[in-house]
């Protein structure tokens, strides 16, 4: 299966979801971009690494990086390997000597580690075809944000609007049980939005 290398293009406030950020990844050999909705803490962790800032004390991702380096563990690459119901799934390809280990990770955490280890990020052509946006040469960053807000078929917020409140509550319980906290957060926000509309 063909793999596509991605670069971290940047972060911006998400207009589609209050308090969230859009992490924008761009293909290295092309014009397509993938916006991924992430939380504020994860966005901060990525931004700090991108700007080469040093926190007074190690943040969680810095601690992981320092721990791995201490025991000669390298993060070789990050792979975004699946897109399901608007949620991106990733894995860390790690190496310690001759031993290679694959670890499941939230995409936001995987990217936060990738920028610290300065390792490549890959995805599949299938995911890029489904979630990628082509940015025209004359298209501005503001126009890209407008397109993200326009609720594409892979927009998780738009996907949740077609479920009933009862179904959303059941989905929330299942997401928490499966430790899919990013999806649980999206579902919780949609439930909250529905309740506010009823008031």
Give domain limits for the chain: 3-148, 163-198
Threshold 0.95, pTM exceeds: no
C-alpha to C-alpha distances, 101 to 18, 95, 117, 132, nearest whole angstrom = 36, 6, 16, 29
Residues in CB range of 185: below 8 A, 6 or more apart = 39
pLDDT tens per residue across span 31-47:
899 999 998 889 989 99
Alpha-carbon distance of 110 to 117, in angstroms, equals: 10
CA angle 146, 182, 158 (to 5 degrees): 40
Residue 139 has pLDDT above 60, yes or no: no
For the ranges 64-68, 78-82, 116-120, 175-179, the lowest mean pLDDT is seen at 175-179
Give pLDDT, residue 80.
97
* pLDDT-based confidence at residue 67 (cuts at 50, 70, 90): very high
Task: Over range 103-117, report the average pLDDT.
Answer: 96
* pLDDT-based confidence at residue 9 (cuts at 50, 70, 90): very high
CATH number of 3-148: 3.10.690.10
Residues in CB range of 48: below 8 A, 6 or more apart = 55, 59
* Max mean pLDDT range (3-17, 120-134, 156-170): 120-134
Give pLDDT, residue 179.
62
Query: Percentage of the chain surpassing pLDDT 70?
Result: 83
Q: Is residue 93 left, alpha or beta, with left meaning phi > 0 and alpha meaning psi from -120 to 50?
A: beta
Give pLDDT, residue 154.
46
Give pLDDT, residue 153.
40
Mean pLDDT computed over every residue of the chain = 84
* Max mean pLDDT range (49-53, 102-106, 143-147, 185-189): 102-106
* Max mean pLDDT range (13-22, 62-71, 165-174): 62-71
Which is nearest to 108 in space by CA: 173, 180, 177, 192?
180
Lay out the sheet containing 74-84: strands in order across. Answer: 99-106, 87-96, 74-84, 121-124, 3-13, 21-27, 32-38, 133-134
Alpha-carbon distance of 42 to 185, in angstroms, equals: 13
The residue that leads in pLDDT, 69 or 16, is 69
């Amino acid at each position: 299966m063909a793999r596509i290398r991605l670069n971290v293009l940047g972060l911006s406030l998400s207009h589609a979801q209050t308090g969230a950020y859009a992490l924008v990844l761009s293909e290295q050999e092309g014009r397509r971009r993938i916006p991924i909705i992430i939380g504020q803490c994860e966005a901060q962790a990525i931004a700090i690494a991108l700007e080469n800032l040093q926190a007074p004390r190690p943040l969680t991702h810095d601690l992981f990086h320092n721990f791995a380096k201490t025991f000669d563990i390298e993060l070789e690459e990050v792979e975004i390997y699946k897109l399901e119901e608007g949620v991106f799934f990733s894995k860390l390809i790690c190496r310690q000597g001759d031993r290679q280990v694959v670890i499941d990770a939230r995409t936001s955490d995987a990217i936060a580690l990738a920028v610290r280890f300065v390792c490549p990020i890959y995805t599949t052509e299938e995911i890029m075809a489904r979630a990628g946006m082509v940015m025209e040469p004359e298209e501005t960053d503001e126009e890209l944000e407008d397109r993200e807000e326009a609720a594409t078929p892979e927009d998780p917020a738009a996907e949740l609007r077609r479920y009933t409140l009862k179904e959303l509550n059941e989905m929330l319980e299942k997401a928490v049980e499966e430790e899919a906290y990013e999806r649980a957060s999206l579902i919780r926000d949609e439930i909250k939005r529905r309740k506010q509309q009823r008031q």
